[in-house]
Amino acid sequence: MFGCHMHIYPWDLLDEGLEAVLERLQGEAGIDGLTLVAMHDEVEQFRPHPAVLPRALHATGGVCFQPGQEHYVTTRLRPPQMEGLRKTDVVALVAEACQRRGLRLRLALTPWYSRRLVQRHPEIASKNLFGDPSRHSLCPSHADVIHYFSAVMRDLYDYESVEAVVVDHLDWPVATDPQAFDGASLLFGPEGADLLKVCFCESCLQQADAVGLDGELARRQARLLFDRLCQSTETPSFTPDYKVEQNRVLMDYLQWRADQPLRWVQRWLRDGSRPLVISAPLGLTPDWLARHLPQWLEAARFLQVPIEALETLIGELSQSTPSIQPRSFRNMELLLALDDGLVEESAEIVRQLSWAAQAGVAGAAIRHYGVALPRYWTGLHQGLRHARRQA
């Protein structure tokens, strides 16, 4: 059957009442699975639901379950609890309700971002090319961070009825914080903005050195290129003497770094651990897809991909890349974000769901309940009915 999961934050579920929300999802929309956000960085959210307060919510980051201490013996990091949920094991509550109602349950986490952990352990922060530490992003090169992330995953799989863990933003975290980064691509062009994202912390430099790369030289080259770009009188995208791809040392470093999240997934699966659902990294380009997709599809149980990328994939890559066969599409899900500006009305939801089912994609993941307006429910209901007939 064409499955459909709704992504939901714990406070949205609790504020409106667990049973009422589940009833609505199953009854009004025909949704058969729930993806509960079990670990997240701090969130600011406007909630368009009449029954909930505050409407403009600011939630501190953390986890919404009771961590099993035995999982965290190989790392100094401990998961902070989400504020206001200190005594509630939301995951246990929701798991019980889903089981009773025959809903499938997934748990979502955002591994590399946690302001509270960086505050407690400044040494695990990502650092940009100028050495500025991030206030949000943890560097996945740091051994403590890797052990911590694996511990949280094992902790989540301890809940028996959990179908899978959904990993969000598995691509490398952005080393320059959002406020400082806003507008960077307008000011410095896409290449300049990309350089600001890259981590050059001590762990990254050491590990790059260990595989024969010169991380320190790559960092100096990156700074040189970036400063030249800042002083240029040309429009950033046309600056003739600014070309990252002509710089071998820097390119090797960027390539090595981009491959690390996939290495982590492969290690996780090789250790006999449970499968993952991976939300496709942001900034998916046809280039990236052609290079990484076959490996990601092999590694993940499901790869969630937004409609434009799915269309590219199925329209073009199935012909040009022999390793991507239509059966691989059974390993993919449509990622349908209600707040990305593309879905303005029900008809668009119906179109996307029907298209995905016809293309042979396994199901859909809707994001997220907190921003779902009443006008979307009919679209979801109709779209899922069509999709299930077509699948």
Q: Which of 37, 201 has the CB closer to Zn ion?
A: 201
Using the rule CB under 5 A, give the single segment among 29-37, 177-185, 204-212, 336-344 that binds Zn ion. 204-212
Does residue number 145 form part of the binding site for Zn ion (CB under 5 A)?
Answer: no
Contact between 37 and Zn ion per CB under 5 A: no
Which span sits near Zn ion by CB under 5 A: 8-16, 160-168, 201-209, 270-278?
A: 201-209
Q: Which stretch binds Zn ion (CB under 5 A): 29-37, 148-156, 199-207, 248-256?
A: 199-207
Rounded to the nearest 10 degrees, the angle between the axes of helix 202-210 and helix 215-231 is 120
Name 336's bridge partners: 366
Span of 136-144, 213-221, 232-240, 363-371 interacting with Zn ion by CB under 5 A: 136-144
CA atoms within 13 A on the CB side of 349: 26
Single residue of 145, 167, 193, 204 touching Zn ion by CB under 5 A: 204
What is the rounded CA–CA span in Å between residue 133 and residue 127? 4
Q: How far is the CB of 7 from Zn ion (least distance, A)?
A: 28
CB of 77 to Zn ion, least distance (A): 15
Interface residue with Zn ion, options 137, 141, 176, 328 (CB under 5 A): 141
Which one of the spans 36-44, 112-120, 197-205, 346-354 is the region binding Zn ion (CB under 5 A)? 197-205
Question: SS3 breakdown of the chain: % helix, strand, coil, rounded to 5?
Answer: 50, 15, 30
Pair 151, 94: CB distance under 8 Å? no
Question: Measured between alpha carbons, how far is 30 from 261 in angstroms, rounded to an integer?
Answer: 34
Minimum distance between the CB of residue 281 and Zn ion, rounded to whole angstroms? 17
Q: Quick one: tokens of 73?
A: 């013996």
Supply the Cα-derived Rg of the chain in whole angstroms. Answer: 21
Pick the binder of Zn ion from 199, 222, 280, 343 (CB under 5 A): 199
Q: Say whether residue 174 binds Zn ion (CB under 5 A).
A: no
CA distance 280 to 156: 21
Q: How far apart are CA 79 and CA 75, in angstroms?
A: 11
Number of chain positions touching Zn ion (CB under 5 A): 5
The residue among 106 and 127 lying less far from Zn ion, judged by its C-beta, is 127
Contact predicate 165/106, CB 8 Å: yes
With respect to Zn ion, which residue has the nearer C-beta, 139 or 280?
139
CB of 299 to Zn ion, least distance (A): 22
Stretch that binds Zn ion, among 159-167, 203-211, 334-342, 363-371 (CB under 5 A): 203-211
For the range 189-195, what are the long-range contacts, defined as Cβ-Cβ under 8 Å and sequence gap of 24 or more? Answer: 189/229, 189/235, 189/236, 189/237, 189/239, 189/242, 190/237, 191/229, 191/236, 191/242, 191/243, 191/244, 192/226, 192/229, 192/236, 192/242, 194/244, 195/129, 195/222, 195/225, 195/226, 195/244
Measured from the CB atom, the residue of 79 and 140 that comes closer to Zn ion is 140
CB of 139 or CB of 324, closer to Zn ion: 139
Residue 43 Rama label (left phi>0; alpha psi -120 to 50; beta): beta
Our finding on whether 207 is near Zn ion (CB under 5 A) is: no
The yes or no reply on residue 201 touching Zn ion (CB under 5 A) is: yes
- For strand 133-138 and strand 56-59, is the pairing parallel, antiparallel, or unpaired? unpaired
Q: How far is the CB of 13 from Zn ion (least distance, A)?
A: 35
* Residues engaged in binding Zn ion (CB under 5 A): 139, 141, 199, 201, 204
